[in-house]
Amino acid sequence: DAGVTQSPTHLIKTRGQQVTLRCSPKSGHDTVSWYQQALGQGPQFIFQYYEEEERQRGNFPDRFSGHQFPNYSSELNVNALLLGDSALYLCASSLAQTSGYNEQFFGPGTRLTVL
């Protein structure tokens, strides 16, 4: 049973460029969340997707956008890259909760470096 996978592993971009990161959730999961983890910091919630809709968004500008596909996989797009966007981007999947809380499973992350 494959866990959460992310691609690419590493990425180097220059300021002003655009980037797309990809995530495949754990088998059976239908909800995907994206986090940004700057070096030495805790992850910061970007947004969560469920049923192909953005369900909740953190405090990130509109340059950060996403998409969820019918097979539950997801993309994170960042436009007009800034040096401060350099970070580890984590994807986490879970089963949508009907009550209580369902555990999130994290992927290995994509390390984005903006020069």
Partner 1 sequence: AQTVTQSQPEMSVQEAETVTLSCTYDTSENNYYLFWYKQPPSRQMILVIRQEAYKQQNATENRFSVNFQKAAKSFSLKISDSQLGDTAMYFCAFVPAGGFKTIFGAGTRLFVKA
Q: Which residues of the shown chain bind partner 1 in the complex (CB under 8 A)?
A: 3-4, 33, 35, 40-45, 48, 55-56, 58, 90, 92, 100-101, 103-104, 106-109
Residue 101 Cβ vs partner 1, minimum distance, rounded to whole Å:
5
Residues linked to residue 94 through DSSP beta bridges, in sequence order: 31
Q: Which is nearer to partner 1, 24 or 33 (CB)?
A: 33
Question: HEC string of 9-60?
Answer: CEEEECCCCCEEEEEECCCCCCEEEEEEECCCCCCEEEEEEECCEEEEECCC
C-beta of 81 vs 94, nearer to partner 1: 94
Q: Closest distance between partner 1 and the C-beta of residue 84, in Å?
A: 17
Strands ordered across the beta sheet of 19-24: 5-7, 19-24, 74-78, 64-68
Quickly tell me which residue has 């700057």 as its tokens: 38
Q: Residue 78 or 104: which CB sits closer to partner 1?
A: 104
- The distance of closest approach from Cβ of residue 50 to partner 1 in the complex, given in angstroms and rounded to an integer, is 8
